[in-house]
Structure 1
Amino acid sequence: MMLRQLNFKEHFSRTYYLAYPVMLSQLGQVMVGVADSVMVGRLGAVPLAAASLANSIFFVIMMFGTGVSMAITPLVAAADGEGKPRIITRVFNHGFAINGFTGIFLFLVIVMAAPLLYHMEQPEEVVDLGIPFLGIISMSLIPLMFFQTFRQFAEGLSQTKQAMMITVFCNLINVGLNWLLIYGKWGFPEMGLNGAGWATLISRVLMLLIMWYFVWNSKRFKAYRIKFDFRKLYFPMFSKMLRLGLPTGFQFVFEVGAFSTAAIMMGWIGVNALASHQIAINLASISYMMASGLSAAATVRVGNQLGRKDIKTLREAGFTIFGMVTIFMSVFAIAFISLRNYLPLLYIDDVQVLEVTASLLVIAGLFQLSDGIQVVGLGALRGMADVKVPTIFTLIAYWVIALPLGYLLAFHWGLAERGVWYGLLIGLTITGGLLLLRFNKLSLSLMYQEKGIAKKG
C-alpha cells in the first residue's frame, strides 16, 4: 500500500495540533510549583528555601514515576498505527497496575528518606520547614500516577486536549486553595508553607477523578473496552512495559536529579543561594515542561509511523519537531536574558536574592536550546522504543561531567552559584547533541533496512 508523503506544512500542522494541548497541560503541571513558589515567597526567604529543598527531592521522584508511566504512550501509539485495539486495552490494564504500585512505592520512599535531609548540611531552619511540606506533597504521587495512566493512554490515541483542560482547571483550583490555606483567608487556618502542600494534594486528587470520569464515559474509548480485569495480567507484558518505562524514569532521574543535587549544593552556599536557585529553576521549568509537550508529540508521531513502517515520514516528523522546539526555546532564551532583572520580582523583593537570581537566569537563557533539543530527542527515541542508550547518555552527561564540573567551578574556582549552573549548561549541551545524532543514526539505519527489504521484494 502506497502511503501519501506529507510536506513540511502538514508535518508542522499535525504536530502543532497534537502538541499544543500537551504543552498547555505540562505548563499547568509546572504552574502548580510556580504558584506555590510565588505565594510562599511572600512569606520570606526561609520558607522559599524550604520549598526549594522539598521540591528538589519531590520533583526527582515524581519525574521517575512520570517516566515509568510514559511506557504506555509509545505502545498505544504503535498499536493504533497497526490497528490492534486489543493490544491497546492490554497496555492500559498493565499500565494501571504498574502505575498504582509505583505511586504507593514512591510515596513510601519519600516518607522514609525525608529525615536524611538533616544530614545534607542544609540550614536547619530550612529543613525543619521543608520536611512536613514534603510529606504532604508526597501523598499526591498516588493520585498523580493513576492520572498519568489515563493521560498517557489518551495521548497515545492522539487525544491530548482533555488532559490539558482538566489540568488547567485543577491548577486554578490549586491557586485558590493556596490563597485560602497559606494565608488563612475566609476563616481557613493560616498554614503557611504546609497550606501549599495541602492545596497541591487536593488539586491532584480532583485531576484524577475528572480524568477517570472522562475516559470511563467517553464514546471515543468505548471500542477498547477499558475495564480493570486484573485476572488478565501477564508477566511478558509487564516486562515489555518496564523495559520501556524504567529506563525512561531513570532518564528523568539523571537529569532532574542533577538539578536537585544542584539545589543541595546551593544550600551549602547559603539560604539566599538556595532561594535564588528555586526562583531560577522555577522559571526554567516552565519552558522545559512546555518543550516536553513537543517531546510527547514526538513520541506519538514517531511511534505511529514506526507502527506503519513509514520511516521516511518518521524522519520528517522527527526533524520537524526538532526545528519547532529550537524556535520555541529561542523565544524563552531571549526572554530570560532580557527580563532577568524583572522576572524574579514576581517571587521576592530581597535585593541579594534578586541579584543572584538575575545571574542564574542568564545561564538559563543560554541552555534553553540544549534543553529543548534533548527533551525532544528523548521523546523521539522513546517512540522508536530506544531507551537504554539515551539513559546512558544522560547518566554520563549529568553525573560524570556536569555535576563534578559544577562543583569544581563553584567551590574551587570561585564562581559560587554560577559555577553550579555552568556545569548544568555543559551537561544539557552534551546530552542534546548526542540525542540528536542518535535519532539521525537510528532512523537512517531503519530507512536503509526498509530500502533493502523493498529491493529484495
Structure 2
Amino acid sequence: MQFSDYTKEFGTNLKIAFPIMLGQLGHILVALADNLMVGQLGAAQLAAVSLGNSLVFIALSIGIGFSFAITPLVAEADGQGNIEKGRLHFHHGVIMCAVNGVLLFVTLLIAKPVLYMLDQPPEVVALAIPYLEIVALSMIPLMIFQAFKQFADGLSQTKYAMYATILANIVNVLFNYVLIYGIWIFPRLEVEGAAWGTLISRFFMLGLLIFMLSRKRKFKSYFFWDGASHIRLSEFKTLIKLGFPTALQMLFEVGVFTAAIFLSGILGTNAQAANQIALNLASMTFMIAVGLGVTGTIRVGNQKGKRDYPNLRRIAFSIFILCFLIEAVFAVGFIVLKDWLPPFYIDNPEVIFMAAQLLVVAALFQLSDGVQVTILGALRGLQDVNIPTVICFIAYWVIGFPVMWYFGKEAQMGVQGIWVGLLVGLTASATMLYFRFNYLSKKLISGV
C-alpha cells in the first residue's frame, strides 16, 4: 500500500477531529485559565489548584472512560443505518453518566482527607480543600455533558460540543476574573473563585449543548422517548462492559500523572508548581491526539458496522500517522520555546528553570503519548477494551511508575526523573498497543 493511500484520509480525519480537538482543548483551557490567574497569587496557590485537581482528574478519568462507551456503539449503529439501536445506546448512556456524576461528586467529598496523607506542604493542602469541594459538584453537569457529547461524536457531528465548550470557556474566564480578584460587586475569593468559575461554566456548557442538539433535525429521532418500558438492563450491561475497562485505562494513565504531581510535591512547592506548568502545556497538545483518538473510534466503528475491514485498517493507520506528524511538530516547539513558555505562568526563576527542563522530556513523550491514545481509540472502535486495559496497567504501573519513583528522588534526577518515568511508560504503552491493533486488524481481514 502506498503512503498516499493513508495521506488522502488526512482531510476527512481532520474534519471530524478538529471540533473534538478544540472541544477537548477547551477543557484544558479551563485549567489553563485557573492556572494563569491563580499563578499571579503565588506558588502556593498554583500548587493548591494542582493538588485539588489531582483528585478531580482521577474522578474525571473514570467518568469520561464510562462515557466513551457510547461513541463506538452509536458509530456502529450509524454505520448499519439503525436509528433505533443508536437511540437506545444514547438514552441509556445519559442515565449512566448522570448516575456516575452524582457518585463521583460524593466520592470526591469523601476523599478529601486523602490530601492530608500525601506528605504535601500544609499551606497548599489548606488552600486545596475548599477548591476541591466546589469543583467536585461540577462532576454532575460535566458527566451529563459527556453523554450528549459522545452521542453526537458517534454520529460524526462533533462541532456542537465544540461550540458549547468554547462559549463555556468565555464564561469561565469572566467569572474567574471577577471572583478570584474581587472585581466590581464580587467578593475576592482567590483560589475558591477559580473553583466557582469552573462550576458555573460547566452548568452553562451542559445547558447550551442540550439546547443545540434538541433543535437540530439530525438528532430529532434520537430525542424521542418511549417511556419506562424503554429502559433495558441489557443496554446498561453493554455500556458497562465497554465503559468499565475504558475507565480503567484512563484511570491507569491519569493515575500515573497524578502520582507525578504527588511525587513532585514531596520535592517541594516549587517542584510541584513547575510540574503543573509543564503538565498543563503538555495536556494542551495531548488534546490534539485525543481528538484524533476519538476520530479513530468513530471511523473504525463505522467501518466495523459496514464490515469493511481492509478500509478499517487503512483508515486507522492514516490516523496514527497523522497524529505522529502533528505531535512531532509540537515536540520541536517545546524544545525551541522551553525558556519562553513557563514565564507566562509565574514570576519565579527557580520554578521557570525546572519547568523548562521538564518541557524537554515532554517534547519526547509527545510522540509516544499521541500514538498510544490514537491506537486506543481505534481499538475502542473495534470494541476491544479488555486486553488494552491490561496493557495500560503494565505500561504505566509495572514499567513506568518504578522508574518515576526511583529517578524522581532528590538524590537522583529530581522532578525531571519523574518525567523520564512518564516517557518510559508511555513508550511501552504505544509499542504494545500497536502490536495489539496490528494483530486484530489482520485477523479481521483474513476472516480467521
Residues 200-215 of structure 1 aligned to structure 2 (within 5 Å): 200-215=198-213
Is the aligned partner of 1:266 residue 2:264?
yes
Give the structure 1 partner of residue 173 of structure 2: 175
Cα contact 2:74–2:86 (8 A) shared by 1? yes
Task: State the shift of 1:235 in Å.
Answer: 1.5
Residues 289-308 of structure 1 aligned to structure 2 (within 5 Å): 289-308=287-306
Task: State the shift of 1:414 in Å.
Answer: 1.3
Residue identity opposite 2:345 in structure 1:
Y
The Cα offsets for residues 163-219 of structure 1, whole Å up to 9 and x where unpaired, read as: 111111110111111111101112210100110000000000000001111122211
The RMSD of aligned alpha carbons is 1.3
Matching residue within 94, 97, 115 for 2:95: 97
Give the structure 2 partner of residue 47 of structure 1: 45
Taking the aligned partners of 1:281 and 1:73, their CA distance within structure 2 comes to 27
Give the structure 2 partner of residue 285 of structure 1: 283
Task: State the shift of 1:133 in Å.
Answer: 0.2
Residue identity opposite 2:86 in structure 1:
I
SS at match of 1:122: coil
Segments of structure 1 that go 5 or more residues without pairing to the other structure are 1-5, 453-457
Cα contact 1:216–1:226 (8 A) shared by 2? no
SS at match of 1:95: helix
Matching residue within 409, 412, 416 for 1:411: 409
Cα contact 1:93–1:230 (8 A) shared by 2? no
Gap change, CA 1:145 and 1:226, over 3 Å in 2:
farther
Taking the aligned partners of 1:81 and 1:158, their CA distance within structure 2 comes to 11
SS at match of 1:411: coil
Residues 189-338 of structure 1 aligned to structure 2 (within 5 Å): 189-227=187-225, 229-338=227-336
Taking the aligned partners of 1:229 and 1:331, their CA distance within structure 2 comes to 51
Q: What is the TM-score normalised by the length of structure 1?
A: 0.95
Task: State the shift of 1:225 in Å.
Answer: 4.1
Residue identity opposite 1:367 in structure 2:
F
Work out the number of aligned pairs and report it: 445
Residue identity opposite 1:200 in structure 2:
T
Cα contact 1:93–1:229 (8 A) shared by 2? no
Taking the aligned partners of 2:338 and 2:226, their CA distance within structure 1 comes to 50
SS at match of 1:358: helix
Residue identity opposite 1:294 in structure 2:
L
Give the structure 2 partner of residue 157 of structure 1: 155
Task: State the shift of 1:396 in Å.
Answer: 0.9
Taking the aligned partners of 2:226 and 2:19, their CA distance within structure 1 comes to 27
Taking the aligned partners of 1:248 and 1:229, their CA distance within structure 2 comes to 30
Taking the aligned partners of 1:200 and 1:252, their CA distance within structure 2 comes to 22
State which drifts further: 92-101 or 410-419.
410-419
Taking the aligned partners of 1:203 and 1:224, their CA distance within structure 2 comes to 26
Matching residue within 406, 425, 428 for 1:427: 425
Residue identity opposite 2:29 in structure 1:
M
Task: State the shift of 1:227 in Å.
Answer: 3.0
Segments of structure 2 that go 5 or more residues without pairing to the other structure are none
Taking the aligned partners of 1:229 and 1:146, their CA distance within structure 2 comes to 20
Task: State the shift of 1:439 in Å.
Answer: 1.1
Matching residue within 181, 185, 191 for 1:187: 185
Cα contact 1:170–1:204 (8 A) shared by 2? yes
Percentage of matched positions with identical amino acids = 45
Taking the aligned partners of 1:102 and 1:96, their CA distance within structure 2 comes to 10
The Cα offsets for residues 391-418 of structure 1, whole Å up to 9 and x where unpaired, read as: 1111111111111111111227511111
Cα contact 2:66–2:240 (8 A) shared by 1? yes
Residue identity opposite 1:258 in structure 2:
V
Gap change, CA 1:17 and 1:152, over 3 Å in 2:
same
Taking the aligned partners of 1:312 and 1:251, their CA distance within structure 2 comes to 27
Is the aligned partner of 1:366 residue 2:383?
no
Q: What is the TM-score normalised by the length of structure 2?
A: 0.97
Taking the aligned partners of 1:61 and 1:337, their CA distance within structure 2 comes to 32
Give the structure 2 partner of residue 455 of structure 1: none
Residues 367-406 of structure 1 aligned to structure 2 (within 5 Å): 367-406=365-404
Give the structure 2 partner of residue 38 of structure 1: 36
Residue identity opposite 1:368 in structure 2:
Q
Gap change, CA 1:421 and 1:9, over 3 Å in 2:
closer
Task: State the shift of 1:380 in Å.
Answer: 0.4
Cα contact 1:158–1:300 (8 A) shared by 2? yes
Cα contact 1:92–1:149 (8 A) shared by 2? yes
Cα contact 1:173–1:203 (8 A) shared by 2? yes
Task: State the shift of 1:234 in Å.
Answer: 1.4
